[in-house]
Amino acid sequence: MTTQDDDKPALYGRKVLSFVRRSGRLDDRLQRAWDRYADRYLLDAAAGEGSLNVRDDVRFDADFVRNAWGNDNPLIVEIGTGQGENIVAAAAARPDVNFLALEVYDPGVAHTLLLAGKQDLGNIRIAQVNAPELFAHADAGVVGEVWTFFPDPWPKMKHHKRRIVQPELAASVRHALADGGVWRIATDIEDYALHVHEVMDGIAGFENAGGLTVSLPTGHVGKGNAELAADMPHADFAESERFGGRVLTNFEKKGLAAGRTIHDFTYRAV
């Protein structure tokens, strides 16, 4: 397992990952889905068995898309697809668009395989690799949209460096996006919303296309201290209406039931 020692600096000889690799056994249903559908939907992009690194010879370009999907349709990539409910629903609704699900956890990959296979979808593929590495292998303009919905918030202050939305990934996403393409992000964690604004607002190559004004605290809080944010200075930020192409998953329902506000972002490549 590749993890970062919490007591060492962020660059202590290892990559800082936005996840911790956990391998759990698949139940019988998910194992059957994996055995039945992996050859059809799971892309061969990893460096080896059990690895989440991208092979050195992988080039995420137009030929990659053509070989994987058999067409030149626009491509939408979702980073962190969880159980796959959102991307599979989107693929079913938009057969003229190609969809790539990026997920690192075996059960999530298997459940996405199950959902896609049951509907016999032909326009979705799955890659079980570290998303920033795949985008680092991308050609300019190969992707039409990128989605990152409800990423792991890493709530402890010392873990904020693990959050997936970072300047380095933003630069890689911008390179991969066609001009006018968008990176859609959503979170139900107020502190993560501030983090997104700090990384993305004003970053080279993107414009915040949001039309809503949202007030957020201007300081960060860690796990267990969220209530302190209410007494911090606040400022106005631009965010977006809820993205209509995102289905209401069980995860989002739980956030709403807990009284959390959903923050949607649209950053357009310029």
Catalytic residues: 152
The set of residues, in sequence order, having a beta carbon less than 8 Å from that of 100 and lying 6+ positions away, is 43, 75, 76, 77, 78, 124, 125, 126, 127
130 is in an annotated binding site: yes
> Are the C-beta atoms of residues 128 and 112 closer than 8 Å to each other?
no
Beta strand 206-208 pairing with 263-269: antiparallel
188 is in an annotated binding site: yes
Q: How far is CA 233 from CA 200, 215, 219, 237, in A?
A: 21, 10, 8, 13
The number of helix segments (H) and strand segments (E) in the chain equals: 8, 9
Distance CA 141, CA 124 (A): 19
Of all helices (H) and strands (E), which one includes residue 178? Answer: strand 177-187
152 is in an annotated binding site: yes
252 is in an annotated binding site: yes
Q: What angle do CA 243, 247, 248 make, to 5 degrees?
A: 105
251 is in an annotated binding site: yes
Q: Binding site membership for S-adenosyl-L-methionine: which residues?
A: 78, 103, 130, 152
Q: Binding site membership for substrate: which residues?
A: 156, 188, 249-252
Q: Binding site membership: which residues?
A: 78, 103, 130, 152, 156, 188, 249-252
